[in-house]
């Protein structure tokens, strides 16, 4: 079974003073909506939330009040993504052989897409949610001029959840040592250790809340999904 780690300790610097984790999509806080998608997965046995150190009890109480019954605990987020994950890993149950790491700021992830990523992780030891690139991507030289244009059909936008064998993840952390702390993408640890990561193409919008306008867009998508279900 999986232990799901929800990262909700970011400082929301690009949100103009709004804590994006506590902003609401519909009437549900962003990080709660993310957690509930994992709550509904039969593959997930427990949920751990990495929250701001000074608000751990608040986040834990909110999660329980919104029905996240699989919540094991909230832990203090670290100064970096890696440190937040590391703190959460200390709370993972010994009998959970796999972990799934998800950005709390991606509230539109569906349980169906979660389950597809988790199934690939069991099969391949490492898998990430990703979307095919829809724009042409350029690489730039240090002088600001275009250096190359990679073939778009080989490019994907890495998203979350990213799921791994717990044993494999911990082995890579041990092997990389302090270099792991600079990683901004969880699967990069596996790549740096020479491991293979499966790309699982998602089927629904999984946008990340980064700027204030993203909240309006996410709300529109959420309302549309509910309307479609009603019809």
Q: Quick one: what percent of the chain has pLDDT higher than 70?
A: 96
CA pair distance 173, 180, nearest whole angstrom:
6
* Mean pLDDT for the stretch of residues 113-120: 98
Residue 231 pLDDT grade (very low, low, confident, very high; cuts 50, 70, 90):
very low
Angstrom distance (rounded) from CA 217 to CA 106: 12
Mean pLDDT within 124-147 = 96
The percentage of residues in the chain with a pLDDT greater than 90, rounded to a whole number, is 88
- Number of neighbours of residue 112 by Cβ within 10 angstroms: 13
pLDDT given at position 13? 61
d(CA 202, CA 193): 25
For residue 129, give every residue at least 6 positions away whose Cβ sits within 8 Å of its Cβ, in sequence order, or none: 109, 113, 117, 159, 160, 161, 162, 200, 202, 206
Is the separation of the CB atoms in 39 and 31 below 8 Å? no
pLDDT per residue as tens digits for the range 157-175:
999 999 999 999 999 999 9
Question: Strand 28-29 relative to strand 24-25: parallel, antiparallel, unpaired?
Answer: antiparallel
Instruction: Look over the chain and give the mean of its residue pLDDT values, rounded to a whole number.
Output: 94
pLDDT tens readout for residues 31-49: 999 999 999 999 999 999 9
Query: How large is the average pLDDT for residues 130-149?
Result: 96
Q: Which domains does the chain have, with CATH numbers?
A: 2-128+160-212+221-230 (3.90.550.10)
- Residue 230: per-residue pLDDT: 52
Count of beta carbons in the 10 Å neighbourhood of residue 43? 19
Q: What is the mean pLDDT of residues 198-203?
A: 97
Q: What is the pLDDT of residue 179?
A: 87
The full DSSP string for 135-153 is S---EE-TTSSEEE---GG
User: What is the average per-residue pLDDT within 107-135?
Assistant: 97
pLDDT of residue 181: 86
Question: What pLDDT score was predicted for residue 164?
Answer: 98
CA distances in angstroms from 123 to 35, 119, 130, 201, listed in the order given: 24, 6, 17, 15
Using the predicted structure, report yes or no on whether residue 178 has a pLDDT greater than 90: no
Is the pLDDT confidence value at 101 over 50? yes
The pairing of strands 2-7 and 139-140 is unpaired
Say what the pTM is: 0.94
Neighbours of 201 (CB within 10 A): 12
């Amino acid at each position: 079974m999986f232990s799901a780690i929800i990262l909700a300790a970011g400082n929301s610097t690009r949100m103009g003073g709004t804590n994006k984790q506590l902003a609401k999509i519909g009437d549900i806080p962003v990080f709660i909506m993310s957690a509930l998608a994992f709550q509904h997965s039969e593959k997930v046995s427990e949920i751990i939330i990495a929250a701001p150190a000074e608000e751990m009890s608040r986040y834990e109480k909110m999660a329980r009040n919104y029905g996240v019954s699989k919540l094991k605990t909230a832990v203090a987020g670290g100064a970096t993504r890696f440190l937040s994950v590391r703190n959460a890993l200390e709370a993972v149950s010994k009998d959970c052989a796999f972990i799934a790491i998800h950005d709390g700021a991606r509230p539109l992830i569906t349980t169906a897409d979660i389950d597809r990523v988790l199934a690939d992780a069991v099969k391949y030891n490492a898998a990430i949610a990703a979307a095919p690139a829809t724009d042409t991507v350029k690489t730039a030289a240090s002088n600001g001029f275009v250096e190359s244009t990679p073939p778009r059909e080989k490019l994907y936008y890495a998203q979350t959840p990213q799921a791994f064998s717990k044993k494999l993840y911990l082995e890579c952390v041990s092997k990389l040592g302090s270099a792991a702390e600079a990683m901004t993408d969880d699967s990069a640890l596996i790549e740096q250790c020479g491991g293979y990561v499966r790309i699982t193409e998602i089927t629904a919008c999984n946008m990340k809340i980064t700027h204030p306008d993203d909240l309006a867009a996410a709300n529109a998508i959420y309302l549309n999904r509910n309307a479609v279900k009603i019809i």
